[in-house]
Structure 1
Amino acid sequence: MNSNLTGRLPKSLYNCSSLLRARFDGNQLTGDISESFGVYLHLNYISINDNKFYGTISDNWSKCKNLMTIQMGGNQISGNIPPSFGNLTQLQLLNLSSNNLVGEIPKQFRRMNGLLTLVLSNNRLSGVVPQDLGSLGELSLLDLSMNRLNGFIPSSLGDCLKLFNLNLSNNNLTQEIPDRIGSLLHLSYLDLSQNVLTGEIPSALSRLSSLVSLNISHNKLSGYIPKTFDLMNTLSSIDLSYNQLEGPIPNNKVFTNVSIEALQGNKDLCGNIPGLKQCASGMHKSNGNPKLALIISLPLLGALLLGGFTGMLAFYSRRLKKMSSTQLEDEDKHSEDFFSISTFNGRPTYHEILKVTEEFKETYCIGKGGCGSVYKAKLASGDTVAVKRLHSSSEMINRNDFLNEIRALTRIRHRNIVKLHGYCSHAQNSFLVYEYLEGGSLAYILSNQTAQNFDWKKRVNIIKGVAYALSYMHHDCSPPIVHRDISSKNILFDSEYEACVSDFGTSKILNKDSSNWSNVAGTFGYLAPEFAYTMKVTEKCDVYSFGVLVLEVIKGEHPGDMLTSLTSSSTNKVELQDLVDHRLPVPLLEIKKLVTLILALAIRCVNSDPDVRPTMYDVSQILAAFP
């Protein structure tokens, strides 16, 4: 992925029947897509986004019965979308955006009842928006923008109650906006701009209590802006320009701060906005002065699984040079006083580490934590490793569980996870050996002046990297791995400042058949509230810690007592300016929208009810939608 690869895929790939997962996105690969890929009975994920593949989509893909993700955006694929895609009932994400596809959207899509993300934007699709899309009850993101669709917006979309993002812009859609769109209580982004919609703006839209961005510009909408828009306190962006609207603008924050560009080109709007005429006396009755607050509502259940149309960020592109062996080695039978699980020659490396650190002199110590101290060790091979020497009090309660966990962790290969090379145990010392990352920790960077060099784009990438790592640990490892100590001190950076999750000293392998009871571990201020009294380890503990971490990255410091205000249902409201790092310039409009979305997601993650929190897979898919 993103490796600047050119040319065609090897012919042998066509018959690679054992293929499980394939990512080729972000290269310059070419070839006829129907001749490059075969039938893969075990394949669950394919991404060829942003290449130069051409040709038509084969029916072979519908024979890949385990496929859950198909990403083919940003190529030169032509022809129709195969109706046989409807047979992929297990499919969760389909992205065919930015190609040359023609024809209608297959009605057979109604059978894909597990679909979470459907992105068909920027093609030449025609016909109507199928009514049957309303039967996709799990759908979170629907993007059909920049096509040639006509007819009306089906009211059945109001049945997709988990929709988080709906984009039908830049088509030829006509008639009125359906009232039933107002039923989408988890909808945060609605874009119906650049169509031929008529009639009045339905007052039902004011029921969209989670709506952050509304764009219905460049249509033929008429009449007054509904007075009930006064109550839409979550809105942070609105564009009503180039319609035939008239009358006073509502009295809430988004309209108070709106620019004339978002209102221009209308018939006769008025209000206290530079560029608009003042309303006639008595025409504009105020409802009072509502608090100017950006409320990021809690009921963002539909925020689970936005993403996918640009593909997830890179991983597997960088490998730490293996130290001397790629085979996992157990040495528990070699000696009564020595044991190791490692990707290296355990006993010699154990003694070498003792030698190069002068038996763990303070000079070589680069960090301390609850379970032990970390030392930097440069080996004769030229490799530098981080060695976490465990305190004697950190010895495992259940040796077999601990060793099974270490074996699992040494098998992890992910760009955003610090590689664990192994574990060595002796009567005098027990330590974990990790790859060494020279970029320092997130906690250190946020606490000093270098934080100013971490602009909004870099901070978004940090958040994405951590999300991808946790999603991998929770959903791609068997059994799943819970970190249990996600905090800014455990996020390290490599030489390219890619964020990597470190320190698995307190992690625990989850057995789905066990109660997962455990000792208290983690960092104060990041622990999920239920952990304090249940002592039960679940993936949702990590989700909570991740939410706190996201707030810290955006704010530039731990949110502290603000967590209570953000998660309470009281009338106390938190403004966006209170949640951002003032050492950075005010974010521009586009990045501001993204930061607002991420903050909304973070607040969902720190909900006191674990069942309300999204999964890390959901979070990673949402974030992956943004470049």
Structure 2
Amino acid sequence: MSVANCRRRWLLTTAMMISLFCLSSGDELQPLMRLKTALVLNSNTTVFSSWKEDNLVCNFTGILCNSEKFVKEINLSARNLSGVVPFDAICSLQSLEKISLSSNSLHGNITDDLKKCTRLKHLDLGFNSFTGDVPDLSSLAGLEFLNLNATGFSGSFPWKSLENLTNLAFLSVGDNPFDSSLFPTQVLKLDKLYWLYLTNCSLTGKIPEDIGNLTLLKNLELSDNGLTGEIPPSIVKLKNLWQLELYNNSFTGKLPKGFGNLTSLVNFDASQNLLEGDLSELRFLTKLESLQLFENRFVGEIPEEIGEFKNLFNFSLYRNRLTGKIPQKLGSWQGMDYIDLSENSLTGPIPPDMCRGGYMDSLLVQQNKLTGEIPESYASCESLTRFLVNNNSLSGVVPAKLWSLPNLVRIDLSMNNFEGPVTADIAEAKSLGQLVLSNNRFSGELPSEISGASSLVLIQLSFNRFSGQIPGTIGKLAKLSNLYLDNNEFSGLIPESLGSCVFVSQINLAHNSLSGQIPRSVGSLPNLNSLNLSSNQLSGEIPSTLSLLKLSLLDLSNNRLTGRIPGSLSIQAFKDSFAENSGLCSDNVEGFRRCSSKSSNSGRLRTYMSCFISLLLVLLIALACFLLPKLRKNQTLSHPLKANSWNMKSYHVLSFSEKEIIDSIKPENLIGKGGSGNVYKVVLRDGKELAVKHIWPTPDGGERRSCRSTAAILKRSKSQSPEYDAEVATLSSVRHVNVVKLYCSITSEDSNLLVYEYLPNGSLWDRLHSCQKMEMGWEVRYEVAVGAAKGLEYLHHGCDRPVLHRDVKSSNILLDENWKPRIADFGLAKIVQTGGDWTHVIAGTLGYIAPEYAYTYKVNEKSDVYSFGVVLMELVTGKRPVEPKFGENKDIVNWVYSKFKSQENVLDLVDSTLPDAQKEDALNVLRIAIHCTSQAPASRPSMRTVVHMLEEAEPCKLTDITVVKEGENSQEEIKSFCMTPEKQ
């Protein structure tokens, strides 16, 4: 071939390639530019800076082309993208094999256009905020990887379409609020699967025996569902499994025989089920790194072989029925990160080497029968944050250096037989927040160096043998909230410096040998709620400053106090607070001698002045209460509402306009008032009823600090918070039958309207306690309890991120026309932030607040569980959370606990209006309430577990007793029938 011919052929080939390339680039540019247009405006990203029409599409960031320069992959995961994806555009890319858009803020529906991506092998849309149903996927027959985890999809998942996806190796569709369905048998035909994640997607029924056919599985996660029955024996065929997660279901029975054959297992979690039997099958799982079986019914001993597992670092078996010794070699190879064996019946010593390697975060073995001393090795374990060995039979002297561990946040040695002193080393414990040593035999003086532990919020040293003076340096503990030094042998003066602990709320120094006067500075503590100085040798007069305190408990009895009882304390209600002080006098309290006339006159003058000032304050408050609503009403309605000054943002399909709502905000529609605004009932033209909350602006136009958070979020301007849109989207996207529905917000520059569904039966509080009280049978109360529990369960477990309500109470549980409950008023709600589940804001209502507020501002979902437990107690007893009959500084939780502890007739706790035949059913729920209100947050069940427990406590209905004829059976016989095992 001549050189000229070669040149001509080369030029022709090159021209054809250039032409083909230009044609393909032009065809593929437009779909990508549509994708950019749809996302760039709402996204905080620079990813599209290279997406320009004069650039080659294969050079776009996140785009990968094949050898023919056609787009093969779109990789835009975790790029801060927001908007609606135009699947019709990107599915027109004929060579597209991979779409990866996970971990963004994409929203909207996914239309049937996705079906056109027929060449797809990899589809990853996980961790976004899509809505609606998952479309039929059967046309994507080539898919090998499918991740729709935590996408926000709801409705029914198209399980049947999976039958056509025979190439799937990776399937993850969990953490979505799908409609409840039986375990999808279609999955069992996907024999190429190595990864199956179906956690938290509303599955019910049993795991089919055919699960053993998926022999390539390495990861199987079915947690947080409603699965029942036994773990199928065929699961032992899955010998490639390295992770098996089954927690938070209702599995029963024993671990399958041959379970020990799963020798590749690294992580195994079957916690929070109803499993039983022994743990012998675990002896062979030598590769385990994490073993979580807490909250089950396992019995017997922990296999000694587990102590030989060289990689095990997370080990949690708490709240089972285990006996015998903890394997003494546990952790001796590389140490443990976390171990929790609490609430069993374990015996013997604490293994000595669980901090081998110098790292261990938490050691929790409380409520067992352990003996022996604390091994010296833990005194050098500087990484420890929690050391909880309370409620055992441990003894000996605590290693001195244990007091000084720099990262220790909580140490609880209570209810053991420890002795010896607290050493001066405690000054080095800079992170220590809770020091709990009660009910031991500790002795010696409390070192003055304790002030160096500057993070202390709780000191609990009750029932020991501490002696000497209370150190004066204690006033340097600026964060101290609770001080319990009662039932010891302290002597000398109460430190004046105690008045510097401005956050302290409870002081108990009772039953010691303290002398001298009560410091006046104690009366200056602004947060002091409880003061017990009884059974000491205190003398002198009671400081008048104590009358300035708002105390729920005051006990100065059995001392040597003299003089007049201060005016505001000299009332009959405080009579017992001053008993056994023969030198005290009062002109008002029976049982005390009268004060002298001179002092009496001056006392009367002070009393008259106090009464006058109090009366004046009452009048001023009454005047304010009378005028403020009028001012606010005028503020709300005096200005005409311009139609174009309002902006409506809808969260559901609406059948009304903003004008129809705004026109209804008038006095005759007012149905309630709150701290942040008025509530109006709106009847639409079609007869539908709505509730509209009109949020008032603050005087300075800023956000009201006490505003309910949903309202506060809606009132922020776009410039105030970068998280604004995400938070509103989360709160407004809540979709659950037991959570009140927010239809839309209508906002203007100076006020906001929130439009909710209208619930005609008011709140649970109204029906139980107010003038609108109605008799509620136990079946109705039970259904309210279960429905409200499911609403909270959804908030905690069903959202992309858990939502803490933080003000769970009966007045925030509303009832529809059929008495179905709705969780309402997200005024204090907090979305749990990624990387931590704590919030530092004090919130809640007296009587419902979890006890951990007393020693830390850090609360999580378990605080909602406590509050819900209080609601359960209201439903069972008919009592309010706080009533005078409970006693000073007592609430319904203390009252119920004391009745159970004293073994009184607990049936008397149940509301007397309920029939005797239903009281046993009510008691079953009361026992759940006691579980929910456990003092330790870790001991409370999750809301998912609470729902399971309530469902198991379903009341026996008289309609179930088909053999009973009218008049033939007594109430006792019926009750006996209802309590048979079949009915339990």
TM range (shorter): 0.5 to 0.7
Equivalent residue letter for 1:130 = E
Residue 430 (structure 1) aligns with = 752
Of 119, 130, 143, the residue aligned with 2:281 is: 130
C-alpha distance in 2 between matches for 1:491 and 1:81: 43
Per the TM alignment, residue 106 of structure 1 is displaced from its structure 2 partner at its CA by: 5.0
Q: Which structure 2 residues correspond to residues 585-604 of structure 1 after superposition, within 5 A?
A: 585-586=915-916, 591=921, 594-604=924-934
208 and 61 in structure 1: CA distance in 2 versus 1, 3 angstrom threshold: farther
Contact 2:260–2:283 (8 Å) recurs in 1: no
1:377-425 deviation line (CA, Å, top 9, x unaligned): 2223554322112233494557236665333211111222112222222
TM-aligned CA deviation for residue 534 of structure 1: 6.4
What is the deviation of 1:133?
10
Q: CA deviation at 1:140?
A: 3.2
Map of 2:669 onto structure 1: 364
Aligned residue type for 1:440:
G
Q: Check whether the contact 2:207–2:227 (CA below 8 A) recurs between aligned residues.
A: no
Aligned equivalents of 1:496, 1:585: Cα separation in 2: 22
Correspondence 1:565 to 2:722: no
**Partner secondary structure for residue 598 of structure 1:** helix
Distance 1:61 1:420 in 2: 45
Q: Aligned pair in 2 of structure 1 residues 336, 478: CA closer, same or farther (>3 Å)?
A: farther
Check conservation: 1:14, 1:36, Cα contact below 8 A: no
2:870–2:929: 8 Å Cα contact kept in structure 1? no
Alpha-carbon distance, 1:352 to partner: 1.0
Shift of 1:24: 8.5
Give secondary structure in 2 for the equivalent of 1:370: coil
Q: Deviations over 1:322-356 (max 9, x none)?
A: xxxxxxxxxxxx9994344322689973321122x
Mapping of residues 438-477 of structure 1, within 5 Å:
438-447=760-769, 452-455=775-778, 457-477=779-799
**Residue matched to 2:658:** 350
Alpha carbons 1:24, 1:49 under 8 Å: kept: no
**Where do residues 537-576 of structure 1 align in structure 2 (5 Å cutoff)?**
538-560=860-882, 561-563=890-892, 565=894, 573=902, 575=904, 576=906
Paired with 1:389 and 1:50, the residues of 2 have a C-alpha distance of 46
Using the alignment, how far apart are the partners of 1:557 and 1:133 within structure 2? 53
Measured after TM superposition, the shift of residue 178 of structure 1 is: 6.5
Is the alpha carbon distance of 1:106 and 1:137 closer, same or farther for their aligned partners in structure 2, counting shifts above 3 Å? closer
Counterpart Cα distance in 2 of 1:402 and 1:23:
24
Higher mean displacement: 363-372 or 36-45: 36-45
Comparing 430-439 and 105-114, the one that deviates more? 105-114
2-structure distance, mates of 1:131, 1:338: 64
The whole-number CA distance in structure 1 between the counterparts of 2:945 and 2:843 is 25
Specify whether residues 115 and 435 from structure 1 end up closer, same or farther in structure 2 by C-alpha distance, changes over 3 A only.
same
Residues 619 and 97 of structure 1, relative CA distance in 2, 3 Å threshold: closer
Q: Residue deviations 1:270-293, cap 9 Å, x none?
A: xxxxxxxxxxxxxxxxxxxxxxxx
**Structure 2: segments with no counterpart, 5+ residues:** 1-154, 307-314, 327-339, 346-366, 370-641, 706-711, 883-889, 955-984
Distance in 1 of aligned mates of 2:912 and 2:927: 19
- Structure 2 residue aligned with 1:73, among 222, 228, 239? 228
Please give the alpha-carbon distance, in whole angstroms, between the structure 1 residues aligned to 2:296 and 2:872: 26
| 1:5-404 equivalences in 2 (<5 Å) | 10-12=160-162, 15=165, 17=171, 19-21=173-175, 34-35=188-189, 39=193, 41-45=196-200, 48-50=203-205, 57-59=212-214, 62-69=217-224, 71-73=226-228, 80-84=234-238, 87-93=242-248, 95=250, 105=259, 108=262, 112-119=267-274, 130=281, 132=283, 138-142=292-296, 154-156=300-302, 162-164=317-319, 186=343, 337-343=645-651, 349-355=657-663, 357=664, 359-361=665-667, 363-380=668-685, 382-393=687-698, 395-396=703-704, 399=716, 400=721, 404=726
Out of 464, 475, 482, the residue aligned to residue 804 of structure 2 is 482
Q: Within 2, Cα distance between the matches of 1:337 and 1:346?
A: 20
The answer to which structure, 1 or 2, has the higher relative contact order (CA under 8 A, 6+ apart) is 1
Determine if the alignment matches structure 1 residue 583 to structure 2 residue 583.
no
Q: Distance in 1 between matches of 2:946 and 2:163?
A: 31
Give the drift of 1:446: 1.6
- Structure with bigger gyration radius: 2
Query: Residues 418 and 434 of structure 1 are in contact (CA less than 8 Å); yes or no, is this contact kept in structure 2?
Result: yes
Are residues 66 and 487 of structure 1, via their aligned partners in 2, closer, same or farther at CA, if it must alter by over 3 Å?
same
Closer, same or farther: CA 551–592 of 1 in aligned 2, 3 Å: closer
- Equivalent position amino acid for 2:732 in 1: T
**How far apart are the structure 2 equivalents of 1:370 and 1:478?**
31
* CA–CA separation in structure 2 for the residues paired with 1:37 and 1:69: 24
- Partner residue, 1:527: 849
Contact map agreement 1:406 1:422 (CA 8 A) in 2: no
Task: Write the distance in 2 (CA, Å) between the matches of 1:73 and 1:406.
Answer: 36
Q: Which residue of 1 aligns with 2:110?
A: none
Offset, 1:371: 2.5
Q: Gaps (5+ residues) in structure 1?
A: 145-152, 167-176, 189-206, 210-333
Could you tell which deviates more after superposition, 106-115 or 428-437? 106-115
CA 1:441–1:37: 2 relative to 1, 3 Å: farther
| Cα distance in 2 for residues equivalent to 1:434 and 1:370 | 18
Query: Residue 538 and residue 337 in structure 1: after superposition, are their counterparts in 2 closer, same or farther (change >3 A)?
Result: farther
CA RMSD of aligned residues (A): 5.2
Q: In 1, Cα distance between the equivalents of 2:177 and 2:209?
A: 17
Q: 1:31 to 1:543 in 2, by over 3 A?
A: closer
1:72 touches 1:95 (CA, 8 Å); kept in 2? yes
**Cα distance, 1:178–1:522 mapped onto 2, change above 3 Å:** closer
Aligned AA for 2:651? T
Distance 1:93 1:108, change over 3 A: farther
Higher mean C-alpha deviation, range 502-511 or range 563-572: 563-572
In the TM superposition, residue 591 of structure 1 has moved relative to its aligned partner by 3.1
Aligned counterparts of 1:567 and 1:414: Cα–Cα separation in 2: 32
From the superposition, tell whether residues 499 and 385 of structure 1 become closer, same or farther in structure 2 (CA, over 3 Å). same
The residue aligned with 2:358 is none
Instruction: Tell me, yes or no, if the aligned pair for 1:41 and 1:64 is still in contact at 8 Å.
Output: yes
Give the Cα–Cα distance (whole angstroms) in 1 for the partners of residues 677 and 829 of structure 2.
Answer: 14
Identity among equivalent pairs (%) = 27
Which whole-Å CA distance do the structure 2 matches of 1:365 and 1:66 have between them? 51
Matches of 1:48 and 1:437, distance apart in 2: 30
Structure-2 change in CA distance of 1:32 and 1:66 (3 Å): closer
Cα deviation for residue 375 of structure 1 reads 2.0
| Secondary structure at the counterpart of residue 506 of structure 1 | coil
Alpha carbons 2:865, 2:932 under 8 Å: kept: no
Summarize the Cα distance change of 1:578–1:421 in structure 2 as closer, same or farther, 3 Å threshold. same
Name which of structure 1's ranges 40-49 and 568-577 shifts more when overlaid on structure 2: 568-577
Cα distance 1:162–1:557, how it changes in 2: closer, same or farther (>3 A)?
Answer: farther
- TM-superposed CA distance for 1:472, in Å, is 2.8
